[in-house]
Amino acid sequence: ELKTPLTSFSGYLQILSNTVTDEKSQLFLKKTRQQVKKLSSLVSDLLDVSKIEAGKLQLSNESFDIRQVLDNVVELLSHGNHHFHISLETDIDELLITGDPDRIEQVIINLLTNAIRYSPGTNRIIVYLTRDAAEVKVGVRDFGVGIAPEKLKHIFARFYRVDDANPTISGLGIGLYLSHEIIVRHKGRIWVESEPGIGSTLWFTLPSDQ
Ligand code: ADP
């Protein structure tokens, strides 16, 4: 019910931008499309929260290459944020694990988007991928605002935001709650290391395929 009107909204905006020719209208349409995209993503996140609460968040269970997922997300976000240099540091070429690739991609997008949003005035992000016999470990490191030690234990809570520290960065405080739920449902762990003014690294693990 929430998504159907947004989908038709996007469709009609697309038709309009194919027909409108003057520059100013094109610009307004572009801005409108960006806002609809943002609203769609907020609605999806809120629907995911409802699904978790109803015990209805379904996860698929398939074999996929986590290195490939990381490459895709790094490429996607580098494309939309030219100013940032996002590098993937790993000596792993291919790493098959079992789980829900779309949901794991959602977690990585969340962590990287946060790394970008909470790092004004910086331009470097490093993504790590390592493994041992038991687990695969992914890290997203930024050099941004960081998080005060007393706030660290709250950041995975639903609707929690460190808003006093970042009054100009908007958000709902559910990205990390969803990421936590997805990782725990995969039998993994997620945690943060951070220092105010220095930056943050968000880590998660997933079980290795045996
Ligand atoms: P949102 O970013 O929409 O507020 P999240 O659940 O993604 O919600 O994050 C919760 C809070 O954790 C954020 O409001 C922010 O204060 C803090 N946070 C998350 N990631 C970072 C980061 N990379 N650097 C600094 N603070 C962060």
pLDDT digits (tens, 9 = 90+) for 11-66: 999 999 999 999 999 999 999 999 999 999 999 999 999 999 999 999 999 999 99
CA 62 to ligand 1 centroid distance, Å: 29
What is the C-alpha to C-alpha distance for residues 166 and 164, in angstroms, rounded to an integer? 6
pTM of the model: 0.93
Residue 89 token pair: 């540091």
Mutational test site, ligand 1, from 42, 107, 127, 161, max ligand atoms within 8 Å of CB: 161
Substitution candidate for ligand 1 out of 119, 155, 204 with most atoms within 8 A of CB: 155
* Alpha-carbon gap, residue 206 to 208, rounded angstroms: 6
Tokens 């039998």, located at residue: 187
204: which strand partners?
A: 138, 190
What single-letter DSSP state applies at residue 93? S
Q: Does an H or E element contain 127, and which? A: strand 124-131
Q: What is the dihedral of CA 94, 96, 100, 101, to 10 degrees?
A: 10
What is the per-residue pLDDT across 123-181, written as a single tens digit (0 to 9) for each? 999 999 999 999 999 999 999 999 999 999 999 999 999 876 677 888 889 999 999 99
Q: How many CA atoms lie within 13 A of 13 on its CB side?
A: 19
Tokens of 77: 């976000």
Q: Are 208 and 133 in contact (CB under 8 A)?
A: yes
